[in-house]
Amino acid sequence: MAYERNPAYRPGQTEQYKISRSKIDLFMQCPRCFWLDARLKIKRPSSPPFLINSAIDTLLKTEFDSYRQKGEQHPWQIEFKVNAKPFAHEDMDRWRDALRRGVQVLHKPTNLLITGGVDDVWVTPKGELVVVDYKSTAKNDEIEDLKPEGTWHDTYRRQMEVYQWLLRGEGHKVSDTGYFVYTNGIAKADGFFNKVEFRTNVFPYRGSDKWVEPTLKKIKQCLEGDMPAVGHQVMKPEEPCEFCTYAKVRTELTLDALRVKK
């Protein structure tokens, strides 16, 4: 089945406008890039898909689903002393499928329909839902925590917090503490031999979704307004957006140079 692309936002429109979790993060990175994407459908250049990461993601879901069906803890939950088990719920497939629907909440003050697809949801003995995000990489050092605030791991934090906000918006009791299942490919071996060994760590992150609602109001203002000036990050206003900077040099300054030559 083909899915319709989200249409361009029209200022003053009364129809709901869908905003994905990733578009919220795009706004946090650069309001100008977000505006160009939403209003003119001009997207940032995309990087090649991480197909190996996607394969690991699929395999992790299949593995945790086997314990979900049995109603048991996964061995990693026991190893890392996580007092929760995979959540068996009829909406689990929907929550994961961001293309079809995912987790959805209509933010009534802005008429923005917020969506996102979670990797996994666990549940505590008290019935609190726990948002879980799978990550994979290949580095020499153990991955035992996120990097400090102000680094690219801020995207991971916001991602989990938006998922927590979404599940709460669907009426669920959600723990502030989520978990990253972070698997790391080990390159120190005698050869490939058609196999890569991984070391997986499971570590908590205590999130806060208090920033989400005020950010949605800023997003609505951005959608209704004129194109922002050359982009700066919302979280780091002193740092210009490298995409906007490149576009300006590539087009406006190049055109100015051609005019001078004439």
For the segment 174-211, what is each residue's pLDDT rounded down to a tens digit? 999 999 999 999 888 888 888 888 999 999 999 999 99
pLDDT at position 230: 67
**Domain range for 225:** 17-45+217-261
Q: What is the mean pLDDT of the chain?
A: 88
Q: What is the 3-state secondary structure (H, E, C) of the chain?
A: CCCCCCCCCCCCCCCCEEEEHHHHHHHHHCHHHHHHHHHHCCCCCCCCCCHHHHHHHHHHHHHHHHHHHHCCCCHHHHHCCCCCEECCCCCHHHHHCCCCCCEEEEECCCCEEEEECCCEEEECCCCCEEEEEEEEECCCCCCCCCCCCCCCCHHHHHHHHHHHHHHHHCCCCECCEEEEEEEEECCCCCCCCCCCCEEEEEEEEECCCCCHHHHHHHHHHHHHCCCCCCCECCCCCCCECHHHHHHHHHHHHHHHHHHHHC
Q: Is residue 222 part of a domain?
A: yes
243 in the same domain as 167: no
223 in the same domain as 197: no
Last residue of a domain, one of 176, 191, 208: 208
pLDDT at position 1: 37
* Across 113-117, 131-135, 141-145, 147-151, least confident range: 147-151
Q: Is residue 198 part of a domain?
A: yes
pLDDT at 244 over 90: no
Residue with tokens 């990489």: 137
Which tens digits make up the pLDDT trace of 31-73?
988 998 999 998 888 777 778 889 999 999 999 999 999 999 9
* Cβ–Cβ under 8 Å, residues 222 and 15: no
C-alpha of 249 from chain center: 29
Which tens digits make up the pLDDT trace of 79-118?
999 999 999 999 999 999 988 789 999 999 999 999 999 9
In this prediction, residues 205-225 reach a mean pLDDT of 97
Q: Is residue 192 part of a domain?
A: yes
Cβ neighbours of residue 10 under 8 Å, at least 6 residues apart?
A: none
pLDDT at position 3: 46
Give the model's confidence band at 233: pLDDT under 50 very low, under 70 low, under 90 confident, else very high: low
How far is CA 15 from each of CA 18, 36, 113, 180, 260, rounded to the nearest angstrom? Answer: 10, 20, 10, 36, 46
* Across 81-90, 168-177, 228-237, least confident range: 228-237
pLDDT at 16 over 50: yes
- Number of folded domains that form the chain: 2
Last residue of a domain, one of 208, 232, 252: 208
231 in the same domain as 169: no
Q: Is residue 6 part of a domain?
A: no
Q: Is residue 3 part of a domain?
A: no
151 in the same domain as 128: yes
Q: Is residue 12 part of a domain?
A: no
* Cβ–Cβ under 8 Å, residues 234 and 27: yes
Q: Is residue 2 part of a domain?
A: no
Q: Is residue 7 part of a domain?
A: no
Highest mean pLDDT among 16-25, 226-235, 242-251: 16-25
pLDDT at 249 over 90: no
Instruction: Name the amino acid, one letter, at 167.
Output: L
168 in the same domain as 239: no
* Cβ–Cβ under 8 Å, residues 241 and 45: no
pLDDT at 241 over 80: yes
229 in the same domain as 147: no
90 in the same domain as 182: yes
Last residue of a domain, one of 189, 208, 227: 208
57 in the same domain as 184: yes
Give the model's confidence band at 258: pLDDT under 50 very low, under 70 low, under 90 confident, else very high: very low
222 in the same domain as 203: no
235 in the same domain as 109: no
149 in the same domain as 62: yes
Rounded Cα distance, 83 and 73, in Å: 9
Give the model's confidence band at 231: pLDDT under 50 very low, under 70 low, under 90 confident, else very high: low
Please state the pTM of the whole predicted model: 0.89
121 in the same domain as 237: no
